[in-house]
Amino acid sequence: MAFYNITNRLFFYKNAKLKATVLKTVFILFFFVETSFSYAQNVTSKKDQDSTNNKIENLLKLDQEKSNALFKENKISRERSLLFDAISKNVQVADLTLKTGIDYKGFTTELNNVIKLKKTAIDGIIKNKNDFQTLRNITVTSIMLKELQTRLDIQLAKIKKNNLELSEMQTKIDSLMIKKSLFTAPKDSIRKSLYYERYSQMNADVISLNKRFKNALDSISKLQILANKFKYDLQNDIIETDNIRKDEFTNLFDSDGKIFEKGTNKMGFEESFFYSLTKELIILIFFISNHFDTIVLMLLLAIALIIYLLFLKNKYKKEGVYHQIEFSKQILKHPIACAILISFTLFNFFFIYPPFAFTALIWLISIIALTVVNKEYFSSKDKFIWKIYVLLILISLYDNNILIHSVKEVYLILFLALATAAFSIYNLIKNKEVLKPLFKYTLYIVTVFEIISMFFILIHHNYNLGKLLMVNGIITILMYYLFTNTYRLIADIINYSNFLRETNEEKQLEINDLEKVNFTTKTNILFLIGWLISIGKNSYFFHTLIDPIIDYFNKSRTIGDINYSYQSIFIFFSILLTSVLIAKIVSFLTSGSARSSTGNKGNKFGSWLILIQIAIFSIGISLAFISSGIPVDRLTIIISALGVGIGFGLQTLVNNLVSGLIIAFEKPVNINDTIDIGGQTVKMKSIGIRSSVVATFDGADVIIPNGDLLSQHLTNWTLSNTKKRTDILIGVAYGTNLEEAKSLLNEILQNHSSVLQSPEPIIWVTQFGNSSIDIVVKFWVNHINFANDVKSDLIIAIDKTFRAHNIEIPFPQQDVYIKPSNDHITEKE
What is the CATH number for 752? 3.30.70.100
Report the DSSP beta bridge partners of residue 762. Answer: 778
- pLDDT per residue over 610-651, tens digit each? 667 777 777 877 777 777 666 666 666 666 666 666 555 567
Residues 159 and 273 in one domain: no
Is residue 818 assigned to a domain? Answer: no
**What is the distance between the alpha carbons of residues 187 and 819, in angstroms, rounded to a whole number?**
132
Check whether residue 482 and residue 407 sit in a common domain: yes
Enumerate the β-bridge partners of residue 563.
558
Closest C-alpha among 528, 548, 689 to residue 610: 689
Query: 681, 688 in Cβ contact below 8 A?
Result: no
What pLDDT was estimated at residue 75?
A: 79
CA atoms within 13 A on the CB side of 736: 27
Picking from 406, 419, 597, the residue whose alpha carbon sits closest to that of residue 500 is 597
Using a 10 angstrom Cβ sphere, with 0-12 exposed, 13-18 middle and 19 or more buried, the burial of residue 316 is buried
What are the residues whose beta carbons fall under 8 Å from the beta carbon of 766, sequence distance 6 or more? 774, 775, 776
Q: Is 434 helix (H, G, I), strand (E, B) or coil?
A: coil
- The three-point CA angle 21-22-25 to 5° equals 85
Q: Is residue 276 in a domain?
A: yes
Residue 509 CB contacts under 8 Å (≥ 6 apart), including other chains: 495, 498, 499, 502
Asked if 390 and 366 touch (Cβ cutoff 8 Å), the reply is no
759 within domain boundaries = yes
Whether residue 666 is found in the same domain as residue 628: yes
Residue 770 and residue 643 in one domain: no
Domain that holds residue 697: 563-716
Distance CA 705, CA 471 (A): 59
The set of residues, in sequence order, having a beta carbon less than 8 Å from that of 403 and lying 6+ positions away, is 134, 136, 137, 140, 272, 275, 276, 279, 280
User: Which pLDDT belongs to residue 608?
Assistant: 63
Q: Confirm if 722 and 707 have CB atoms less than 8 A apart.
A: no
Listed as ranges, residues in the chain with pLDDT below 70 are: 1-24, 26-50, 101-103, 131, 263-268, 324-328, 501-516, 560-562, 588-611, 628-650, 664-666, 813-815, 819-829
Q: With respect to residue 810, please indicate whether it lies within any of the assigned structural domains.
A: no
DSSP secondary structure letter of residue 603: -
Residue 483, domain member (yes or no): yes
Helix, strand, or coil (residue 106): helix
546 and 442, same structural domain?
yes
Sequence-distant (6+) residues with CB within 8 A of 432 are: 440
Statement to judge: residues 487 and 623 lie in one domain: no
Give the bridge partners for 716, in sequence order: 675
Residue 174 one-letter amino acid: D
d(CA 244, CA 238): 10
Residues 67 and 104 reside in one and the same domain: yes
Shared-domain flag, residues 537 and 583: no
DSSP-derived 3-state class of residue 663 = helix
| Residue where a domain terminates, one of 554, 573, 603 | 554
Q: How far is CA 445 from the centre of its chain?
A: 43
Phi-psi region of 811 (alpha: psi -120 to 50; beta: other; left: phi over 0): beta
Residues in the chain: 829
Helix (H, G, I), strand (E, B) or coil at 509: coil
State the chain's maximal CA–CA distance in angstroms: 203
Kindly state whether residues 541 and 588 are assigned to the same domain. Answer: no
| 463-501 and 380-400 helices, crossing angle to 10° | 130
Secondary structure in 3-state letters for 672-727: CCEEEECCEEEEEEEECCCEEEEEECCCCEEEEEHHHHHHCCCEECCCCCCCEEEE
Phi-psi region at 506: left, alpha or beta (left = phi > 0; alpha = psi -120 to 50): alpha
Is there a single domain that holds both residue 39 and residue 185?
Answer: yes
Going by C-alpha positions, the residue among 207, 212, 203, 175 that lies closest to residue 97 is 212
Of 118, 102, 201, the residue nearest 160 (C-alpha): 102
Is residue 58, in this structure, part of any structural domain at all? yes
Question: Whole-angstrom Cα distance, residue 401 to residue 395?
Answer: 10
Domain co-membership, 87 together with 175: yes
Last residue of a domain, one of 695, 716, 737: 716
Q: How many CB atoms lie within 10 A of CB 173?
A: 20
User: Is 542 exposed, middle or buried (CB count within 10 Å of its CB: 0-12, 13-18, 19+)?
Assistant: middle
Closest alpha carbon to 382 in 313, 323, 320, 435: 435
- Sorted by sequence, the CB contacts under 8 Å of residue 208 that are 6+ apart come out as none
pLDDT at residue number 29: 65
Beta bridge partners, 123, equal 127
Residue 819 falls inside a structural domain: no
> Per DSSP, what are the bridge partners of residue 619?
none
Question: Running DSSP on this structure, what letter comes out for residue 761?
Answer: P
- Name the CA dihedral angle for 603, 605, 610, 611, rounded to a multiple of 10 degrees: 180
> Nearest-CA neighbor of 307 among 582, 686, 81?
582
The Cα–Cα gap between 7 and 305 comes to 159
In a domain, residue 131? The reply is yes
Instruction: With beta carbons less than 8 A apart as the criterion, state whether 147 and 283 touch.
Output: yes
Helix (H) or strand (E) holding 512: none
Is the same domain home to 411 and 370?
yes
- Across-strand partners of 691? 705
**718-723 long-range contacts, CB within 8 A, separation 24+:** 718/670, 718/672, 718/673, 718/674, 718/784, 719/668, 719/669, 719/670, 719/673, 722/782, 722/783, 722/784, 722/785, 723/756, 723/780, 723/781, 723/782, 723/783, 723/784
Q: Sign of the C-alpha dihedral, residues 102, 108, 114, 115?
A: positive
Which of 661, 694, 716 is the endpoint of a domain?
A: 716
Q: pTM for the complete prediction? A: 0.68
Domains contained in the chain, number: 4
